[in-house]
Amino acid sequence: MLISIQEVLAITGGFLYAGHIESCLTGALIDSREAQGGELFFPLQGEQQNGHYYIMDALQRGAAASLMEKGHLPNFKRDDLPAGKSVIVVDNCLRALQDIASYHRNKYNIGLVAVTGSNGKTTTKDLIASVLHTRYQVLKTEGNFNNDIGLPLTLLRLRGHHQVAVLEMGMRGIGEIALLCSFSKPNVGVITNIGEAHLELLGSRENISRAKGELLEAMGPEDTAILNGDDPFLKPMGDAFTGHTVFFGYAEGLDLRAHRSFFQANGYSFSLTLPGGKEEEFWVPLTGRHNVYNALAAVAVGLHFSLDPSEIKAGLAKTSFSRMRMERIHTKSGLKLINDAYNASPSSMELALQSLKECAGKDFCIAVLGDMLELGDFCEEGHRKTGHCLARLGVDCLVTVGERAALIGEGAKEAGFLPEMVFNCTDHDGAVKVLQSLPLQKAHVLVKGSRGMFMEKIVDQLLIQYDERSNVAGAGEADRNDR
């Protein structure tokens, strides 16, 4: 049992419109099609759909009960409801979801690790969960369930066998992480970095830092903050934290300091001086030196939960990563794709381009880049700087998709990139046609853009033409709230 009708009434202050107060609920859902039997349906208002129009569908498919907001009462009659089903009337269904999740979380005295940051939080969350899973039963955020809807739904998956939870926290504005913390109550907080994501919404990196810092503000002196000590915004934040702080990075004097990191066997190896002075070698199945930071955060969390180095190494090595985050796809025809289509910002573009060059070596490499959204006044400069970076790194060819992304090409040419190797396209089909004209056998192709650009459609079309994938390795970062 997840919760009883009686508990729901007490938590929400709602009233039972139909059904039986003694009924018990086995789960929670917001999509009526996912009903399997016994769940509580939360009819939320979406951008295009109102869940109240699917209450009957959810109950008929097997949900045991549904919430309903008072304003929708005139649209329902008790006699029309399926026999034995319950309906609870509340003021606000989203607030009810969050309150029920908070109540449910309080039942469990477990470690709860919250992960946020401008870049790397999904990868870091996956690494942490894999490391902890070597010894503990772990609940972690799946997919893009990292906001005010997804996070409470994740909390409602907590069961008695779970020993630790690892939750990703997305952010689009001031106050959002504070809200997520109010019902998740983290006792370990991880912040990967402070970048440009959501500059249009927040105006400055200082404001982004303030928003991310709400995670630490929600924790107390008995809690632990694990922070990137090389990030200029996070170092003072950690120094001011009232609890225990662990800094990781490359700089001298940090609690966990990496050195001698290098690309090896389709991943990154690095040496790490552990507390006490012992040096250990670690390997993470990710390209890009920046992913050492994500691995360091996972090592720090593992040590916090008393794992030994062998367990941490095993957890890092066998991590399963979320799709479209530096997902490497090797086709039978020889084309090598890097699908990083989930999001983009100038800093994550630079890191992805570095990884492209690292993987390609001397092979021909192509960057297929889409618009970066939500950059505000930094839009033109951010796109041009990405072009400068691409030219500096020595990428062989650039294909852009979108009006903003064309500025990447302008920036690349300003930095000396060959104009004849820049192809500006307005849509996915145009980009695919350009790619079909290029020498793709044994080529390495990075596909990346903001979430709203749906750049994965280019990957799908290429896979149809250039054979099924023969090998996949993945990692990267993003969340539903990122571009």
Give the residue extent of every domain in the chain: 3-93, 108-317, 327-473
CATH code of the region 327-473: 3.90.190.20
The pLDDT value recorded for residue 477 is: 33
Partners of 400 in the β-ladder: 369, 424
Contact 465, 337 (CB under 8 A): no
CATH code of the region 3-93: 3.40.1390.10
d(CA 197, CA 472): 28
Give the fold, CATH level 3, of 108-317: UDP-N-acetylmuramoyl-L-alanine:D-glutamate ligase (3.40.1190)
d(CA 87, CA 58): 11
Number of H helices, E strands in the chain: 17, 23
* Residue reference for tokens 């079309």: 461
- Weakly modelled stretches of the chain, pLDDT under 70: 1, 197-201, 265, 467-483
Q: What is the 3-state secondary structure (H, E, C) of 175-196?
A: CHHHHHHHHHCCCEEEECCCCC
The pLDDT value recorded for residue 173 is: 87
Letter for the amino acid at 63? A
Pull the structure tokens for residue 235.
């170092």
The pLDDT value recorded for residue 479 is: 33
pLDDT digit string, tens, across residues 189-246: 999 999 776 666 677 888 888 999 999 999 999 999 999 999 999 999 999 999 999 9
The predicted model scores a pTM of 0.85
The pLDDT value recorded for residue 197 is: 66
The total of other beta-carbon atoms located within 10 Å of residue 224's CB is 20
pLDDT digit string, tens, across residues 242-269: 999 999 999 999 999 998 888 886 789 9
